[in-house]
Structure 1
Amino acid sequence: PPRACDDYWSEFRHCKSLWNRFHHYYTHGTSPSCQQWKEDYRNCREWEKRKSTEAKEALQRSERNRVAEQTKFTPVWKLRQYPPRDWNMPLNQDKPQDS
């Protein structure tokens, strides 16, 4: 499996914690859905015990979806390709004042 099975269980417990539920509700306005972490834990245990190919494929699919979900957000700031031209000048000295 991509992770240890205990990692999935820890993520599930964290997701169900009162602090996380409060934070998620405050941030997003909804309660978090923790069912996928529990399903991943069950699939991981199934894969470890019986080497079930269905459980392995479901776990891999879930991990791919999780990675795709993380990459779909656009960054808040535009990343620079090069440093500013005057990066080596002392701060607030020899720079024109914006008035």
Structure 2
Amino acid sequence: MADKVCWRPPRDCDDYWYEWKHCKSLQNLFHNYYTYGKAPECQEWKRDYMTCRHWEKTGSESDKEALRQNEKARLKEKQNRTPVWTQRTKPPSDWYLPLDTGKPRQ
């Protein structure tokens, strides 16, 4: 019983709703189609919203576990993406020189 009272979803239930609304927005649809060539999958946000609301009403353990698993999957997917830039361990050897040194002007 104490776990039901103390545990909260990783996000507020309304956050799942706003994520779903953003995912369905025309601007986001254009962005995803341009970037990835397909429309985004938005149903997981709506499903999580409904699960969160159901958990608030009932305190169901299955709803709680479903929200936990979906958030873990999102974090894992986010961590699996390769970064665009490589991290430097030290600055370049010529970091103190002016930027246009040795480069012809165009």
User: Normalized against structure 1, the TM-score is what?
Assistant: 0.85
Q: Which runs of 5+ in 1 are unaligned?
A: none
Q: C-alpha distance in 1, partners of 2:27/2:92?
A: 42
**Deviation per residue, 1:28-77 (Å, 9 max, x gap):** 11111111000110111112111111001000100011111111111122
Aligned-residue offset at 1:20 = 1.0
**Distance of 2:88 and 2:96 partners within structure 1:** 16
Aligned residue pairs total 96
The Cα shift of 1:92 comes to 4.0
Counting aligned pairs with the same residue, the percent is: 54
C-alpha distance in structure 2 between counterparts of 1:18 and 1:87, whole Å: 44
Q: Cα RMSD (Å) of the superposition?
A: 1.8
What residue ranges of structure 2 are gaps of 5+ in the alignment? 1-8
- SS of the residue corresponding to residue 58 of structure 1 reads helix
1:73 counterpart = 2:81 = yes
In the alignment, the residues of structure 2 paired with residue 50 and residue 90 of structure 1 have an alpha-carbon distance, to the nearest angstrom, of 64
Q: Which runs of 4+ in 1 moved over 6 A?
A: none
- Matched with 2:36 is 28
